[in-house]
């Protein structure tokens, strides 16, 4: 009789332990599911409307940004303020109509390709390039100036006839002027094509920091005192 009672007690203890394990397992699954839901609720809006990652490809922004650097792009600031001269922006693949006018023979409006460049000219301004020197004329004849370029390491001798920017257009160029495919080739960027401005360099860790590419960062990187005229 005692043996039966002991066996029964052992079975009950084992069953209780198994039930406890099942409850703990269910709790872990519920916690994991809850975490995933919360992560989705938090991450997706941030990813879609506030910030998104961007991987630099190519050398058009050397030495400010190197190929393979990992950046975070601020998507929200331009909802409250206009882009400024010298801002480094990420924008959708430019696609003039017709594309052939700007040399984009395989332009695809649905392309997921993005470019990174620096804003040189603002809406309403006139921009021209003579032997590599960029001249910007203010709207309504309010003066003209040659854009400061002492932060540039690689200069060129390019030329471009003067163009007038529309009310929603920006003229952009790469910091590595001889190797940059930019507004000199395919024209201005529409405001609607701008994704945002660079706010954080994540990788490589040795160059990590906030607001990469802006005046202070360029001054540190090149030893110059200016990043151009705002």
CB-based burial label for 229 (10 Å; 0-12, 13-18, 19+): middle
Residues 6+ apart with CB under 8 A from 44: none
**Do 63 and 177 meet the contact criterion of CB atoms below 8 Å apart?**
no
Residue 187, sorted as left (phi over 0), alpha (psi -120 to 50) or beta, turns out to be: left
User: Which residues make beta-bridge pairs with 115?
Assistant: 91
Residue closest to 159 by CA, chosen among 184, 125, 183: 184
Question: Which of 8, 25, 30, 60 is labelled catalytic?
Answer: 60
117 tagged catalytic: yes
Question: Which of 25, 117, 126, 150 is labelled catalytic?
Answer: 117
Q: How far apart are CA 98 and CA 101, in angstroms?
A: 6
60 tagged catalytic: yes
Q: What is the dihedral of CA 115, 120, 126, 128, to 10 degrees?
A: -90
Active site residues: 60, 117
């Amino acid at each position: 009789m005692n043996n039966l009672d002991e066996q029964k007690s052992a079975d009950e203890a084992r069953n209780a332990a198994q039930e406890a394990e099942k409850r703990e397992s269910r709790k872990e699954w519920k916690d994991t599911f809850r975490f995933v839901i919360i992560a989705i609720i938090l991450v997706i809006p941030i990813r879609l409307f506030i910030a998104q990652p961007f991987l630099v490809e190519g050398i058009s922004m050397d030495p400010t940004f190197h190929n393979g650097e990992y950046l975070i792009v601020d998507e929200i600031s331009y909802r409250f303020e206009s882009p400024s001269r010298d801002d480094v922006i990420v924008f959708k693949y430019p696609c003039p109509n017709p594309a052939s006018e700007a040399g984009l023979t395989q332009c695809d409006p649905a392309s997921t390709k993005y470019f990174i460049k620096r804003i040189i000219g603002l809406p309403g301004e006139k921009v021209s390039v003579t032997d590599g020197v960029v001249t910007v004329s203010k709207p309504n004849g309010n003066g003209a100036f040659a854009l400061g370029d002492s932060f540039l390491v690689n200069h060129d001798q390019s030329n471009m006839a003067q163009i007038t920017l529309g009310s929603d257009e920006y003229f952009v160029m790469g910091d590595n002027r001889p190797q940059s495919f930019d507004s000199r080739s395919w024209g201005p960027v529409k405001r609607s094509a701008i994704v945002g401005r660079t706010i954080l360099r994540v990788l490589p860790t040795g160059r990590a920091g906030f607001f990469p590419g802006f005046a202070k960062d360029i001054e540190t990187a090149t030893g110059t005192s200016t990043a151009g005229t705002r």
